[in-house]
């Protein structure tokens, strides 16, 4: 039955209790039982983000230029800190958006409009991406009538740059590389993609949505992280989400452009209506002031030291997960993770159905993360996952035994 619009109002205490009850059956994500959707760096960063969000709860970044000058300054400074982190050259610019999908959408729009200015490029346009690129590229392409050509990855599940070069033609406007890709957590060979982009004068977008704000700190603590940012001359746009491993409240992402003229292509301007000039750098009009102020506060609260400290914790935790998983007889990694995303499978898929293992884990209260082609289990680890680590690994080992013993099979489907 459809819920009726309430005839009378209800006090906050009653509502608060009712809503808490509505979430009673949720996955216990605070203790690491959700392998995606949520992120945690440190308790203090969480509190600073939450408090600042509330302090700027009503401000609207759409009015940053005309009314909310403090918010506008914070937004500009968040962008500048990102440009600094990603080694952008003078003249590079950027803006905040509400998430990775929106940042990718705006980069694709800018590339499409650039493509239209290039006499040598012919419509209908296409984008060449590794098979592992995020679905958001197809979403953007769907809206803009573009084609995404997904190219199989190499044996390490990194972008196969030679095969991507072979898929290009006179309709190609953009190459995509991920840093890292969501399915396997590996950083594509952005250096080779950069060379290809330069040689063919094609736009290269680096999707650092999931890893952008943690990869530089993994580098700084001495982990072997390949170059992926504007230090590579072919990188034209880069997206990185603050609301993921930047540990800022949702919704907050950043999109950076090497050239100011490209951001102009990403903008939307319209004047032919009663309220006059309307210009935005994002799909959204109204934007939560809280998210922007919170990003500014969390970045200042943590500083490089704070992000490095979290990177050390994340790296140690991921290593412990990897060691625990690979110690389980019958399991093997599908790729060597660069950061904190792990993807593993049955070492011999004919002997063990990994989706049956996932189903057994589900039965024990662990939301399973799955990949298809290849079939595997997947987890994006943040500090929520430290408390549950030993339970996860021991449940995983016993689920593998249980499935093997029963020779169980599953018809689960991978769902994001």
Ligand X SMILES: Cc1ncc(COP(=O)(O)O)c(C=O)c1O
Tell me: does residue 136 bind ligand X (CB under 6 A).
yes
Least spacing, CB of residue 253 vs ligand X, in Å: 6
* Count of residues of this chain found to bind ligand X when the rule CB under 6 A is applied: 13
Distance of CA 236 to the CA centre of its chain: 18
C-beta of 241 vs 353, nearer to ligand X? 241
Tell me: does residue 209 bind ligand X (CB under 6 A).
yes
Give the C-alpha separation, 238 to 235, whole Å.
Answer: 7
Least spacing, CB of residue 380 vs ligand X, in Å: 8
C-beta of 360 vs 383, nearer to ligand X? 383
Largest CA distance in the chain: 71
Residue from 182, 213, 228, 366 touching ligand X (CB under 6 A): that is: 182
What long-range pairs does 218-221 form, CB within 8 A, spacing at least 24? 218/311, 218/314, 218/315, 218/338, 218/339, 220/304, 220/308, 220/311, 221/308, 221/311, 221/312, 221/315
Residues 6+ apart with CB under 8 A from 327: none
Give the C-alpha separation, 32 to 395, whole Å.
Answer: 13
Closest residue to ligand X using C-beta atoms? 100
C-beta of 37 vs 268, nearer to ligand X? 37
Q: Which two tokens stand for residue 285?
A: 């009009």
Least spacing, CB of residue 91 vs ligand X, in Å: 26
Please say whether the beta carbons of 29 and 263 come within 8 A: no
Residues 6+ apart with CB under 8 A from 47: none
C-beta of 49 vs 100, nearer to ligand X? 100
Tell me: does residue 186 bind ligand X (CB under 6 A).
no
Tell me: does residue 210 bind ligand X (CB under 6 A).
yes
**DSSP, res 99:** S
Residues of span 149-178 touching ligand X by CB under 6 A: 178
C-beta of 101 vs 172, nearer to ligand X? 101
Least spacing, CB of residue 234 vs ligand X, in Å: 19
Least spacing, CB of residue 119 vs ligand X, in Å: 32
C-beta of 101 vs 126, nearer to ligand X? 101
**DSSP, res 368:** P
C-beta of 181 vs 315, nearer to ligand X? 181
Tell me: does residue 392 bind ligand X (CB under 6 A).
no
Give the C-alpha separation, 278 to 285, whole Å.
Answer: 9
C-beta of 68 vs 137, nearer to ligand X? 137
C-beta of 250 vs 263, nearer to ligand X? 250
Residue from 207, 262, 353, 386 touching ligand X (CB under 6 A): that is: 207
Give one word for 37, left, alpha or beta, with left for phi > 0 and alpha for psi -120 to 50.
Answer: left
Least spacing, CB of residue 336 vs ligand X, in Å: 17
C-beta of 93 vs 291, nearer to ligand X? 291
Closest by Cα among 83, 85, 60 to 70? 60
Please say whether the beta carbons of 39 and 244 come within 8 A: yes
Residues 6+ apart with CB under 8 A from 339: 180, 185, 187, 211, 214, 215, 218, 225, 245, 314, 318
Least spacing, CB of residue 154 vs ligand X, in Å: 18
Residue from 241, 353, 386, 395 touching ligand X (CB under 6 A): that is: 241
Tell me: does residue 134 bind ligand X (CB under 6 A).
yes
Crossing angle (nearest 10°) for helices 43-55 and 289-326: 160
Tell me: does residue 382 bind ligand X (CB under 6 A).
no
Tell me: does residue 39 bind ligand X (CB under 6 A).
no
Tell me: does residue 214 bind ligand X (CB under 6 A).
no
CA atoms within 13 A on the CB side of 115: 25
Residues of span 43-102 touching ligand X by CB under 6 A: 99-101
* Coil, helix or strand at residue 176: strand
Summarize as ranges the residues that interact with ligand X (CB under 6 A).
99-101, 134, 136, 178, 181-182, 207, 209-210, 241, 253
């Amino acid at each position: 039955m459809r819920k009726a619009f309430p005839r009378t109002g209800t006090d906050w205490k009653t509502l608060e209790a009712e809503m808490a009850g509505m979430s009673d059956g949720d996955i216990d994500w605070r203790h690491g039982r959700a392998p995606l959707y949520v992120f945690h760096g440190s308790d203090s960063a969480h509190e600073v983000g939450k408090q600042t969000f509330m302090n700027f709860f009503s401000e609207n970044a759409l009015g940053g230029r005309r009314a909310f000058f403090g918010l506008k300054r914070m937004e500009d400074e968040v962008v500048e800190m990102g440009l600094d982190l990603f080694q952008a050259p003078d003249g590079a610019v950027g803006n905040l958006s509400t998430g990775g999908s929106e940042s990718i959408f705006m980069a694709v729009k800018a590339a499409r409009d650039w493509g239209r200015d290039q006499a040598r490029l012919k419509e209908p346009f296409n984008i060449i991406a590794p098979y592992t690129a995020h679905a958001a590229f197809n979403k953007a392409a769907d809206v803009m009538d573009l084609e995404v050509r997904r190219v199989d990855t190499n044996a390490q599940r990194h972008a196969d740059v030679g095969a991507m070069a072979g898929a290009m033609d006179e309709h190609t406007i953009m190459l995509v590389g991920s840093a890292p890709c969501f399915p396997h957590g590996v950083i594509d060979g952005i250096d080779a993609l950069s060379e290809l982009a330069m040689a063919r004068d094609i736009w290269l977008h680096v999707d650092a949505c999931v890893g952008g704000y943690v990869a530089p700190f993994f580098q700084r603590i001495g982990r072997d992280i390949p170059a992926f940012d504007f230090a590579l001359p072919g990188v034209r746009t880069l997206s990185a989400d603050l609301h993921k491993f930047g540990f800022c409240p949702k919704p907050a992402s950043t999109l950076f452009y090497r050239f100011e003229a490209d951001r102009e292509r990403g903008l939307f301007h319209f004047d032919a209506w009663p309220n006059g000039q309307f210009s935005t750098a994002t799909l959204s009009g109204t934007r939560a002031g809280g998210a922007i102020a919170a990003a500014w506060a969390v970045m200042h609260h943590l500083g490089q030291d704070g992000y490095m400290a979290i990177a050390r914790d994340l790296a140690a935790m991921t290593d412990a997960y990897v060691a625990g998983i690979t110690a389980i007889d019958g399991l093997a990694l599908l790729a060597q993770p660069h950061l904190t995303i792990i993807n593993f499978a049955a070492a011999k898929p004919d002997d063990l159905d990994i989706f049956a293992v996932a189903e057994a884990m589900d039965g024990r209260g662990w939301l399973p993360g799955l990949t298809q082609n290849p079939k595997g289990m997947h987890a994006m680890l943040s500090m929520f996952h430290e408390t549950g680590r030993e339970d996860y690994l021991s449940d995983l080992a016993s689920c593998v035994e249980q499935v093997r013993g029963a020779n169980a099979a599953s018809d689960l489907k991978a769902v994001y």
